[in-house]
């Protein structure tokens, strides 16, 4: 079974590209970030402190997160969270959840369960370094902080969420530091990853470039 990993920072475009690749290659698709976001939603809803690790572990084990590729709907325990799961508040809390070693371990096992069918496109921050180190193709997608903030701003405005571009730039810089400096599964390219800077590329251009690399494997 073929595995393609897409790692990179927030706003780099790996999610959009990942979904396209899964369609083109007829592969299963894993957006690992949704799992952390799902936990974050429940942590907020249940008013659980981030220091209450045992309760957060329980949430990670028992939540039911489903993604419909037909209409891009996301359901958490049967409730449509397609919009709420992408908010900036959830982004911030999910980044903090991702720093909890035991919670990451639980979600790592769930992520490996997506390996089925013809193959897998695995999108995240440690897919090629930790979850699937033997992947057939490892891609690290990045972009300038300015380009990533602009994309995120456009996405949030499209959902009716009012956030200033300057605040997003600060949030992304903070998230980058948190992701790259954490002791557990830091955001770094795999040593054998192909690095693609998408700052000045369209989604189609990025998708075509990765497909070309995949065909060459």
Binding residues: 8-16
Task: Please state the separation of Cα 60 from the chain's center in Å.
Answer: 16
Residues 6+ apart with CB under 8 A from 167: none
CA 122 vs CA 52, 81, 91: distances in Å: 29, 21, 19
* Max Cα-Cα span within the chain: 49
Question: To which H or E segment does residue 153 belong?
Answer: helix 145-158
Q: Which residues are annotated as a binding site for ATP?
A: 8-16
Three-state DSSP string of 35-59: HHHHHHHHHHHCCCCCCCHHHHHHH
Give whole-number Cα distances, 141 to 1, 45, 132, in Å: 23, 32, 16
Residue 103: burial class (beta carbons within 10 Å; 0-12, 13-18, 19+): buried
Query: Which value, in Å, is the radius of gyration of the alpha carbons in the chain?
Result: 16
- In this structure, is the dihedral angle defined by the CA atoms of residues 49, 179, 186 and 151, taken in order, positive or negative? positive
């Amino acid at each position: 079974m073929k595995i393609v990993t897409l790692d990179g920072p927030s706003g780099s475009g790996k999610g959009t590209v990942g979904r396209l690749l899964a369609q083109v290659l007829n592969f299963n698709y894993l957006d690992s970030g949704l799992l952390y976001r799902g936990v974050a939603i429940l942590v907020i809803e249940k008013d659980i402190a981030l220091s209450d690790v045992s309760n957060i572990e329980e949430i990670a084990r028992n939540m039911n997160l489903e993604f419909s590729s037909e209409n891009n709907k996301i359901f958490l325990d049967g409730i449509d969270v397609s919009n709420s799961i992408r908010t900036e508040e959830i982004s911030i809390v999910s980044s903090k959840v991702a720093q909890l070693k035991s919670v990451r371990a639980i979600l790592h096992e769930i992520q490996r369960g997506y390996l089925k069918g013809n193959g897998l496109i695995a999108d995240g921050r440690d897919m090629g370094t930790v979850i699937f180190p033997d992947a057939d193709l490892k891609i690290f997608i990045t972009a300038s902080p300015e380009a990533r903030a602009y994309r995120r701003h456009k996405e949030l405005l499209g959902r009716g969420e009012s956030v200033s571009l300057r605040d997003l730039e600060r949030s992304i810089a903070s998230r980058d530091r948190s992701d790259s400096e954490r002791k557990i599964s830091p955001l770094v390219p795999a040593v054998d990853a192909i690095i693609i800077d998408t700052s000045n590329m369209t989604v189609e251009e990025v998708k075509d470039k990765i497909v070309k690399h995949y065909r060459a494997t």
